[in-house]
Chains A and B, each alone.
Chain A
Amino acid sequence: MTSLPLKSSYKKPHKAGIGRFFVLAALLIVLLVVLLPFAIVIINAFKTPEDYATYGPLSWPTAWSIDGIVEFWQRVDYSQKLLNSLLISASVAVIGVLLSLLNAFALGIGRIKGRIWLLILFMVANTLPQESLVYPLYYLSKEFDLYNTRFVVILIFSVIQSAFGTYLLSSVFSTFPKEMLEAAMLDGCNKLQLLFKIIVPVSRPTLAVLFTFFFIWTWNEFFLPLILLISNDRQTVPIAVGVLQGQRNMEATLSSASALLGILPCFIFFLIFQRTLTKGIAAGSVK
């Protein structure tokens, strides 16, 4: 986000006065409090247990050791968890965007009858607590032999995310220039061509924002994956880290390593997606 400067305000910066440094200092203190947990996690993830026992949590590591990280990685088979999370989040992002696109095409461009009611339906679905779906989903996935599969998690989240996507895209599509649609129809475009040759290329930035949100939201999900994925080799990163926390009596450095490994992928996504995210947040499309 730092790479996107704010629109400059109403005055040229005038740098006189020392009062401004008090405000800056106050902000820096608040910032320090906000970032301290990250710093503590990072320095302790690289300590040996002996180092930690001797000097406590706030000292600089005497020697940077990756033993804790390696041990945690192997203990939970972290590569597998990363793979599961990537597979689930990417599939949901693709399918969720596709479903939103088809729905919004019918509602926003086609303006079919009853679209207001359908939009209200999608909006209400978007605010439903997952607690009100969880038991039937758990029960039905067992009935259909889909329990404890990545497939069912992908299916469920694609639909849940597309409820939001349909709502957002429909309002974007309803402002789509009519002339463009009519020109395409006159050129003999059928509806499928209209969607994929005209509308998709024009709305690519919005679709990118949706894709990014769906990916990150799904990556961060905890409640439903916790219930639907019970075997170790199918769990996602947050579940693996979260469940381990509760179960085993871990050493401090190992605990810290697990937190670091949980943070790291999100931090990487943040850096990769920050431009899309900033645009999306500015567009007000944040849940």
Chain B
Amino acid sequence: MSNRALFWAGARRCIPVCVAAGPFGALFGALAVESGLSPFEAVLMSATIYAGASQMVGIDLFGQNIPAWVIVLSIFAVNFRHILYSASIGRHLGDWNGWQKAFGLFFLIDPQYAEAERRLEMGGKIEFVWYMGLATPTCLFWLSITWLGAQFGNLLKDSHSYGIDFLLPIYFLGLVMGFRKRSFWLPVVGVSALAAVIAYETIGSPWHVSIGAVAGIMLAAFFSPQARGKLSQSEGQVTS
């Protein structure tokens, strides 16, 4: 495939990402302005942190007279899961040079990671051009929608009845289901969900993400057929 075709193949995958993340991005822009950020600062946050959930946590704390390092640490805690994405996807970036990794991994948000994993599962490779084909329009859209939300946020006042607050859980469920043909998928999902809820109730957000994730990963590492050497590596990736 030519580079141009690869780029467009990636770019086409941005549509569901933008539809699901769009209202959330607009809501972020609106809430950021409401909590005292300028539209410039809201867009700066989207452009440099580029991780919706942690941006929400950030603006929530800006309003509360909380020490700067606590805000930074909270953003880090919410985004800690990216370490796992990075470790997982990094095994498949053999064709990328160091600069491409340093640049491309900046864009490793949840849907970007999920789409990359899906591509591997379909037997594809993670070409840098394909990856940036998905990342470029997604990121530009995220910045635009943040700015629009910051400008016209009043239109979003009734986000509850529009279902915006629950749009992302539905979208993430769709991403999780996209991996349902992997071996040991259901045990991992069950244990992660249970551990996440318990951690959410006891330790609190955002640690439920890392704790729930580690529970599911440990389960797979110790008990999955792949870990116990019953499947070859390629079979472990996709079992249908």
B is a partner of A: no
By a beta-carbon cutoff of 8 Å, the part of chain A in contact with chain B is none
